[in-house]
Amino acid sequence: MIASELISDIVVPLKTSDTVENAISMMEEFKVSHLPVVNNRAYIALVAESDLIGSAGPDSPVGNIKLALPRLMISVYQHIYDVLRMMSEHKLSLLPVVDKDENYMGAISLESLTANMAKMAAINQPGAIIVLEMSQNDYSLSEIAQIIESNDAKVLSVYVTAQVDSTNMEVILKINKQDLSPIMSTFSRYNYTIKASYGEDEDPGDLKDRYDSLMNYLNV
């Protein structure tokens, strides 16, 4: 999935002639703290709400404001992981997307990014989650998949995260079966450490905790 597929259609860019007051109003309307500045089709800059607060005055043009952020943008062809990394590093509420000539093509909002990450993680598909813990040297995706498939199940998505100050890692698996008992028994027989498991029949209140954990694994 690339940046051009993540563009949100709800965000309207600013022009350099737009006033500070208008920019703040648009941020409130779109529920964002950043907006792209565009002249004709050319991408100029990304303005943050913090740039506007305490600026020269509400009638000052955005083009005259000193901006704190570098000229952040991403190519239409870059991967969703690049989008995720950049938005996380700079704590952005949206990210401008440009073509090879740096013409503005649109912006990716956090809402759009989250929705598409959910699709990639197969969150909306029925199934369950297993979290394995192992040494990085012991990791073999082919063996893990073989164990799951030997129980007539399929891997819908997989995320791998290294543990800080450790040679261990966690492997988060979304599987298309709700009954994990046979799969977990096979993992145990092969001496895998099962750190956690989540079935779809759990308390819905746990969903937010699981989502927060996933975002933490992805370093958002």
Provide the CATH number for the domain around residue 166: 3.30.70.260
- Give the pLDDT mean for 177-200: 91
Model confidence over 29-48: pLDDT tens digits?
999 999 999 999 999 999 99
30 vs 209: which has the higher pLDDT = 30
**Structural domain ending residue among the three candidates 116, 148, 167:** 116
Structural domain containing residue 40: 3-116
Residues 48 and 125 in one domain: no
Residue 168, pLDDT score: 92
Q: The pTM is what? A: 0.68
The tens digit of pLDDT for each residue in 142-185 reads 999 999 999 999 999 888 888 777 889 999 999 999 899 999 99
The token pair that represents 4 in the structure block: 């051009």
Looking at the predicted structure, is the pLDDT value of residue 101 above 90? Answer: yes
- The domain that contains 23 carries what CATH number? 3.10.580.10
Q: What is the mean pLDDT of the chain?
A: 87
- State residue 163's pLDDT score: 79
pLDDT at residue 14 in the model? 95
Q: Are residues 56 and 31 in the same domain?
A: yes
Residues 112 and 26 in one domain: yes
Q: How many domains does the chain have?
A: 2
Stretch (H or E) spanning 169: strand 168-175
pLDDT bracket for residue 4 (50, 70, 90) = very high
Q: Residue 67 — very low, low, confident or very high, per pLDDT cuts 50/70/90?
A: confident
CA distances, 45 to each of 18, 21, 48, 63, 115 (Å):
13, 18, 10, 9, 26
What per-residue confidence (pLDDT) applies to 70? 85
Lowest mean pLDDT, pick from 18-27, 29-38, 94-103, 206-215: 206-215
> Do 175 and 148 contact (CB within 8 A), yes or no?
yes
> Do 105 and 128 share a structural domain?
no
CA distance 35 to 97: 12
pLDDT value, residue 220: 46
Arithmetic mean of pLDDT, 114-133:
81
